Each structure stands twice: as structure tokens, then as C-alpha cells.
Amino acid sequence: MQETSGQSRWHALTPWLFMLPAMLLFAVYVIIPIFQSIWISFFDWDGIGDKVFIGFGNYAELMDDPQFWTALWNNVLWLLFFMLAVPIGLGVALFLNQQVLGIRAVKSLFFFPFVISQVIVGVVFSWFYDPSSGLLQDIIGIFGFEPLPILASESMATYGIIAAGLWPQIAYTMILYLTGLNNLSPDQIEAARMDGAHGWSMLWKVIIPQLRPATFIAVVVTVIGALRSFDLVATMTGGGPYGSTTVLAFFMYEQSIFSYRMGYGAAIATVLFLLMLVYIAFFLWRMLRAERG
């Protein structure tokens, strides 16, 4: 009896030993910093000198900062328009879900913007939009329009950046849907065809419900992509013109690194984190429910 309890204690320790290195690193570089950031957000701090506790001072300042509201509003725009990647990705996947010669190559060509760094996507689209030498100007020139300086316009620049972001994102959702379409149950489709379903009614009533797992993942990665948007804003406009394209992620970086306002930056990061937490909680809840059930 003594022996087995010693053995079982050792046995109980085994999984923890396996997890130890991963847990330690993850705790030090991911989990603890979240709480540290929230803590820092209650201080006035330039990153070098002493921290001065100001309670909710940074948050109160945020409420009166027009730049914060611009950033938040742009994040809302990102969320809304980035979601287009989900239906468009489904559309492309349906279009490509055929067996014709060379379709595999076509699928991978469609996918490969996703593999390219967002910095490069930003460069490509900056050039595409460039008012003096860009491709877009040539295209709209054919229809007799004047050059459109999209990234220099306060009202259009954010949409221009989101459009650039949609390019790799559609590639991503497309590949998720192609995999989903591959795993459809042929029996159900046949049965529905027997019942006279075809075209749109088939898509709505039979296909889309079966694609729910793919849709779920597509929505999750798109929301996260929209809230994480930083690279494209940084490379395409640097938040300009006049701060009109800034998003919370970029605003936070700007305030902390360039203005040395770590406390204020941490407060912005906390707001962004809380927004994301809604989705993280939803995702975890679904995932764990699937795990138990």
C-alpha cells in the first residue's frame, strides 16, 4: 500500500514535469505580462523614471482623446469590413471546388497571398494605390477618372488598408471552406437533390449548415485578424493622414514607443484586450463544450 501511494504520487507528477518548460515560458512571457500591463495602466510612467499611481486617470484621459475614438471607430470598421472575407472566401471556395485540369495549381495560387508577410502586402498595395505611378490609377483612368490618392485621403485611407488586408484574409477563409466542402456528406447532398433542392436552396439549407465548423473558425480568425491589424497600418500609412487610419494596436505602439507614455499605452492595450476577451471567452466556451460533449 505504501509502495503504490509513492508510485502514484510519482505518477501524478509526470504530466506536470512534461508541461513544466512550456508552462514556465508561457507564464513568464504571455500570462503574467497581461496582468502587468493592466497594472501599469493605472500609472503615469515614461518607461524609465518612477511610476506615479493615478488610478483610472489614463482611462479618463482616453475618454477625452479624439485619437482614441478614431482608433476605436477604425477597429469597428475593420471588424465590419474584414468580415467580408467570410462570404467572399466561401464564394471563391465554391467557385474552385471543381475537378478540372490544373485546379490544384489554381487553388494554391489563390491561397498564396496568405503566405506573404503583411509588410510585403502593405508595400504591394501602397504601390498599387500610388497616385502618380500606381496600377489602380491606370485602371480607373481607362474609365476616365482622375487619379485617386486613396492613402492620402482621410476619408478613404482606412478602407484602402482594409481592402489590402482582405486579400490574404480571403485566401485564408477560402482554404478553410475548401477543406469543409471536401468533408461534406455526399449522402445528404444526394438525398436533398432527390427532394428537389438545388442551387441557392441547396446552399442555404444543406451546405451552409454542414459547413458550420469551417464558418466558426473563419469568423474567429477574421475577428482576431481585424483586432490585431497593425502591420498594414504601420507600413501603408503609419496611422496618417492626420491620424485618420490609426487603430488601437497602432495607437498603443505610437504612444508607448514614440511618446514614452507607457501608462497611457498600457491603458489602450487593456481596452483592446478587453474587446478581444469577449471573443476569446466565446471561443474557449465553444471549444471546451465540444471537448466535454
Partner 1 sequence: MFPTPIQQTSRFTQISYKVALPLTILIWLLPLAAIMMTSVRSIADINAGNYWGWPEQWMLIENYTEVFARTNMGRYLLNSVLITVPVMIFSVGLATMAGFALAKYKFRGRIAIFAVFIGGNFVPFQILMIPVRDLTIQTGLYDTIWALIIFHTAFQTGFCTLFMRNFIVGLPDELFESCRLEGASEWQIFTKIVLPLVRPALAALSVLIFTFIWNDYFWALVLVQSDEVRPITAGISALRGQWLASWQLISAGSIVAALPPVILFFAMQRHFIAGLTLGATKG
Q: Taking CB under 8 A as the rule, does residue 8 contact partner 1?
A: no
Q: Collapsing DSSP states into helix, strand and coil, what is residue 43?
A: strand
Residue 106, Cβ density class (10 Å: 0-12 exposed, 13-18 middle, ≥19 buried) = middle
Q: Which of residues 212-251 bind partner 1 (CB under 8 A)?
A: 213-214, 216-218, 224, 227-228, 230-231, 234-235, 248-249
In the complex with partner 1, the residue whose CB is nearer, 31 or 52, is: 31
Closest to partner 1 by CB, 80 vs 288, is: 288
Residue from 62, 72, 79, 207 that binds partner 1 (CB under 8 A)? Answer: 207
CB atoms within 10 A of CB 33: 12
Cα–Cα separations (whole angstroms), residue 154 to 129, 196, 247: 14, 51, 14
Pick out residues in 48-87 that bind partner 1 (CB under 8 A): none
Which residues 21-50 are close enough to bind partner 1 by CB under 8 A?
21-23, 25-26, 28-34, 36-38, 40, 47
Q: What are phi and psi of 158, to 5 degrees?
A: -60, -40
**Closest CB to partner 1 among residues 125, 243:** 125
Part of the chain binding partner 1 (CB under 8 A), chosen from 1-9, 64-72, 77-85, 122-130: 122-130
Query: Are 236 and 122 spatial neighbours (Cβ–Cβ below 8 Å)?
Result: yes
Interaction mask 270-289, partner 1, x per CB under 8 A: x-xx--x--xx--xx--xx-
Q: Count the neighbouring beta carbons within 10 Å of the beta carbon of residue 87.
A: 13
Q: Interface mask (CB under 8 A) for partner 1, residues 151-190, using x and -?
A: ----------------x----x--xx--xxx-xx-x--x-
What's the chain's length in residues? 293
Closer residue to partner 1, CB minimum distance, 34 or 76? 34
CB 78 within 8 Å of CB 226: yes
Give the HSE-up count for residue 270: Cα atoms under 13 Å, Cβ half-sphere.
19
